[in-house]
């Protein structure tokens, strides 16, 4: 598709959609209108984005930061604090059903709460289910994990990449929003490296700390030890009695 079709957006400015890059091809994205999205974490400005190359539809939610209180810095315009950005990969089981097999749902809640308070943007990346292998394959991998494989081995047994995610579209969205100098809320060192290749200056990495649980302990340890995530794995919270897959609270 031609870049001439792009309908730009980004903090009220108009101009061509981002296709800027350094040594990597940054994804061309087309942004829709900005709307208000009231949530339990506060009201965000939401905007849908279409990846011109793949047709995948993503969502950004942004907040200016709450007024300074109790020494918590905000990142409002003019502030020296860089906006906090989270690239959140879609996870239906974790984000919607609150599954404790992974930590996605709790990371999403944590990120929305922190971004609303401090100011910044969460980009919700669809098509990233199961680190890019899709929902059905993720469930196949879960089945292999129940037979003893860890999260990396399960993907390998399925002949699938351990991590098939691509952040070109995310970088395109950040460029379109003017977010080229950011603090990245992530435990995954690859995300920051990938964004840097796409011309995003990650000046700070803020860890996304969520509690370890009996159900996700092995998953977190695998992410720490085999995928080099910067995670502190503490003593897990106990599983609810008789509920191997505890409900979200
Ligand atoms: Zn998940």
In a domain, 120, yes or no: yes
In a domain, 40, yes or no: yes
Q: Determine the pLDDT at residue 166.
A: 86
Q: Determine the pLDDT at residue 242.
A: 47
Q: Which residues surround ligand 1, an ion (CB under 5 A)?
A: 91, 94, 102, 104
Total number of domains constituting the chain: 1
The residue ranking higher by pLDDT, 111 or 244, is 111
Sorting pLDDT into bands at 50, 70 and 90, what band is 6? Answer: very low
Q: Say what the pTM is.
A: 0.76
In a domain, 236, yes or no: no
Which SS3 state, helix, strand or coil, does residue 108 take? helix
Distance 103 CA to ligand 1 centre (A): 6
Q: Determine the pLDDT at residue 238.
A: 61
In this prediction, residues 118-138 reach a mean pLDDT of: 93
Q: What are the pLDDT digits (tens) for 166-203? A: 899 999 999 999 999 999 999 888 889 999 999 999 99
Distance 67 CA to ligand 1 centre (A): 32
Q: What are the pLDDT digits (tens) for 141-159? A: 999 999 999 888 999 999 9
In the structure encoding, which two tokens stand for residue 181, read together?
């100098």
Which SS3 state, helix, strand or coil, does residue 98 take? coil
DSSP H helix total and E strand total for the chain:
7, 7
Distances (CA, A) of 47 to 33, 135, 163, 170, 187: 6, 24, 26, 13, 25
Q: Catalytic amino acids?
A: 163, 165
Q: What are the pLDDT digits (tens) for 24-50? A: 567 799 999 999 999 999 999 999 999
- Per-residue burial over 208-217, b if 16 or more Cβ lie within 10 Å, else e, is bebebbebbb
Distance 214 CA to ligand 1 centre (A): 15
Q: Determine the pLDDT at residue 158.
A: 93
CATH number at residue 180: 3.40.50.10990
In this prediction, residues 221-230 reach a mean pLDDT of: 74
In a domain, 244, yes or no: no
Q: Determine the pLDDT at residue 224.
A: 77
In a domain, 143, yes or no: no
In a domain, 55, yes or no: yes
Q: Determine the pLDDT at residue 21.
A: 38
Whether 136 has a pLDDT exceeding 50, the answer reads: yes
Distance 2 CA to ligand 1 centre (A): 34
> Alpha helix locations (H) across the chain?
104-118, 129-132, 135-146, 151-157, 168-176, 189-197, 217-226
Which SS3 state, helix, strand or coil, does residue 167 take? coil
% of the chain with per-residue pLDDT over 70: 76
In a domain, 233, yes or no: no
Range of the domain at 97: 3-67+75-128+165-226
Sorting pLDDT into bands at 50, 70 and 90, what band is 67? Answer: confident
């Amino acid at each position: 598709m031609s870049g001439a079709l792009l309908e730009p957006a980004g903090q009220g400015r108009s101009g061509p959609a981002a296709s800027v890059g350094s040594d990597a091809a940054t994804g061309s994205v087309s942004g829709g209108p900005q709307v208000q999205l009231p949530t339990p974490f506060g009201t965000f400005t939401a905007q849908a984005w279409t990846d011109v190359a793949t047709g995948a539809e993503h969502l950004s939610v942004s907040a200016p930061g709450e007024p300074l209180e109790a020494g918590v810095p905000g990142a409002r315009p003019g502030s020296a604090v860089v906006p906090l950005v989270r690239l959140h990969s879609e996870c239906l089981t974790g984000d919607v059903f609150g599954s404790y097999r992974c930590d996605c749902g709790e990371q999403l809640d944590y990120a929305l709460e922190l971004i609303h308070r401090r100011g910044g943007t969460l980009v919700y990346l669809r098509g990233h289910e199961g680190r890019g292998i899709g929902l059905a394959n993720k469930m196949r991998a879960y089945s292999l994990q129940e037979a003893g494989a860890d999260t990396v081995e399960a993907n390998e047994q399925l002949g699938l990449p351990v991590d098939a995610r691509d952040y070109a579209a995310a970088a395109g969205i950040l460029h379109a929003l003017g977010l080229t100098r950011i603090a990245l809320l992530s435990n995954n060192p690859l995300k920051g490296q990938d964004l840097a290749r796409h011309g995003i200056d990650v000046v700070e990495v803020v860890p996304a700390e969520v509690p370890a649980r009996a159900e996700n302990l092995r998953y977190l340890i695998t992410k720490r030890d085999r995928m080099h995530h910067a995670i502190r794995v503490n003593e897990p919270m106990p599983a609810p009695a008789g509920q191997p897959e505890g409900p979200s609270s």
